[in-house]
Structure 1
């Protein structure tokens, strides 16, 4: 089975990670900027078949997504499943995970995956149902990050959270229904952050399976943030704390 990947960064990332998956690439007729020419040369080096297509055909194939003049047809790869999670964790020292509970907007999902990659997250976990999945639009918004960060699709999120806890991973959920702020929490050890859906937040069972609940302080007139923005804030507070902890450990050894 094949799938579509479009956008400069998404195609470049897949070429870097899995060039053998490429079947063919479509290039927009009349476009010949330096960035595209460089990518085409790399594709030719990997002996990928390249076709020139009209804008209307490209737009149709990308289903309205911003393809940036390049679309790749690639062999579909088996996604990470729930039973792959323990094997992934076995390869990780001090796990740093992100759980996304019911993110329905593909643009938000793609932005969250991009944030996760930038922050050094080891894996992103999403439910198979009631969530956006890894579509070409998600890949495009993620700007290549979907090729770098394992995206684990799970059937029962609460069960997976209990499994993570048995692996001594502390789970912190974000909700407005708590007095503790993000900045009062210890984010330095094996950790999974949980972000809820755009409108309703975390589901009840998800919230009940968190070890700790925190919120991001709202100091102005708005009462909430876009989920991808909130995800970036939470992830980078964890990055700050974890880097500070590592520095202290190194100072103690010197």
Structure 2
């Protein structure tokens, strides 16, 4: 495991609550002293149960500490650690499930990455693989955009994405990229088996050194005058199409 900074400041009810519930290490929690929101009471209760120092302060003091929307709570807690890819794959094997991975290749905006983390968690994906360079990583912006989902998702990052993709393929995992106007419709593709879904960056799409290692490219059919979705919206569409296909396949096997 690795992280870049041992402690970070996080803000907002969901990110703080989920980090508390997940057992991450905290230095302190600071909450506005006008506790009208029941969810702030819940955070206060959990923090005190875990014997974490709690500061009750006026809302104005929180505004001075943090310029964004803090929702009445700030916390200093440990940074989310990266998992290893081996750990992710071993966990999948132990569950006897078909690997279901996400690779946001070159996604630079922490807001988009955070939204994708939340989607992946809700879809039951097993892990997310990030490139070490040229893309957003685990940060406060990513954590806040995920609304706490980042706490529960296994995320790794790799130095050599092409080599990683080749290794995944050797383990029977298909690598499928999604790009606007490229390949066949995702509704005509088989997304039901062991799969890693690759999403390109906001500006350049899937980069050539990654594209060369794809087994297939699919696109999302669009009807309106604007031909593409942003990467977090596109990711949600393709991820849940894969969820649908995997569920259909599982039902057929039961029958």
Please indicate, yes or no, whether the TM-score normalized by the shorter chain is above 0.5.
yes
Q: Which moved more, 1:8-17 or 1:231-240?
A: 8-17
1:49 maps onto 2:79 in alignment: no
Aligned positions of 1:134-149 closer than 5 A: 134-149=138-153
1:154 maps onto 2:158 in alignment: yes
Distance across 2 between alignment mates of 1:18 and 1:74: 10
Structure 1 length as normaliser, TM-score?
0.91
Residues 147-186 of structure 1, C-alpha deviations (whole Å, 9 max, x = no match): 1111111111111111111111001001235241111110
1:68 maps onto 2:71 in alignment: yes
- The answer to whether the 8 A contact 2:116-2:232 is kept is yes
Distance across 2 between alignment mates of 1:52 and 1:202: 47
1:119 maps onto 2:132 in alignment: no
Q: Which moved more, 1:84-93 or 1:230-239?
A: 84-93
Distance across 1 between alignment mates of 2:29 and 2:111: 23
Distance across 1 between alignment mates of 2:202 and 2:64: 29
Matched residue SS, 2:227 = coil
Distance across 2 between alignment mates of 1:28 and 1:55: 5
* Correspondence for 1:30: 34
Q: Which moved more, 1:208-217 or 1:2-11?
A: 2-11
Instruction: Tell me how many residue pairs correspond in the alignment.
Output: 249
Matched residue SS, 2:9 = strand
Unaligned runs of 5+ in 2: 1-5
* Correspondence for 1:181: 185
Residues 166-213 of structure 1, C-alpha deviations (whole Å, 9 max, x = no match): 111001001235241111110111111000011211100111111001
Aligned with 2:218 (options 214, 221, 235)? 214
RMSD: 1.9
Matched residue SS, 2:249 = helix
* Correspondence for 2:173: 169
Aligned with 1:250 (options 243, 251, 254)? 254
Structure 2 length as normaliser, TM-score?
0.90
Unaligned runs of 5+ in 1: none
1:10 maps onto 2:19 in alignment: no
Q: Report the Cα offset of residue 120 of structure 1.
A: 0.6
